Amino acid sequence: MVDITHKINTLRKATATAIVKVSKQETIDAVVNNLVPKGNVLEMAKTAGLFAVKNTHLSIPDCHPLPIEYTSVEYKIEGLDIQIIFKVKTVYKTGVEVEAMHGASIVALTMYDMLKPIDKEIEISTIKLINKEGGKSSFKNKFPYAIKAAVFVCSDSIFAGDKEDRSGKIIVEKLDSYGVETSHYEVIPDELEIIQEKTKAFAKENQLVIFTGGTGLSPRDVTPEALSPILESRIPGIEETIRDYGQQRMPYAMLSRTVAGILGKSLVLALPGSTNGARESMDAVFPHVMHVFHILKGKNHDTL
CB 284 within 8 A of CB 273: no
CA distance 208 to 266: 6
Cα separation, 39 vs 47, whole angstroms: 13
Axis-axis angle for helices 275-285, 167-177 (nearest 10): 20
Q: Using CA atoms, how far apart are residues 250 and 234, in angstroms rounded to an integer? A: 25
Residues 159, 161: Cα–Cα separation, whole Å: 5
Q: Is 113 part of the annotated catalytic residue set?
A: yes
Asked whether 64 and 70 are in contact (CB, 8 A), the reply is no
> What region does 92 belong to: left with phi over 0, alpha with psi -120 to 50, or beta?
beta
| Helix, strand or coil, per DSSP, at residue 157 | helix
Burial class (CB in 10 A: 0-12, 13-18, 19+), 277: buried
Q: Using CB atoms within 10 Å of the CB of residue 90, give its burial: 0 to 12 exposed, 13 to 18 middle, 19+ buried.
A: buried
Question: Which residue is catalytic, options 113, 176, 244, 283?
Answer: 113
Residue 4 φ then ψ, to 5° = -115, 15
What would the DSSP string read from start to end of 162-209?
A: SS---HHHHHHHHHHHTT-EEEEEEEE-S-HHHHHHHHHHHTTT-SEE
Helix 275-285 / helix 236-247 crossing angle, nearest 10 deg: 120
Which residues form the catalytic set? 113
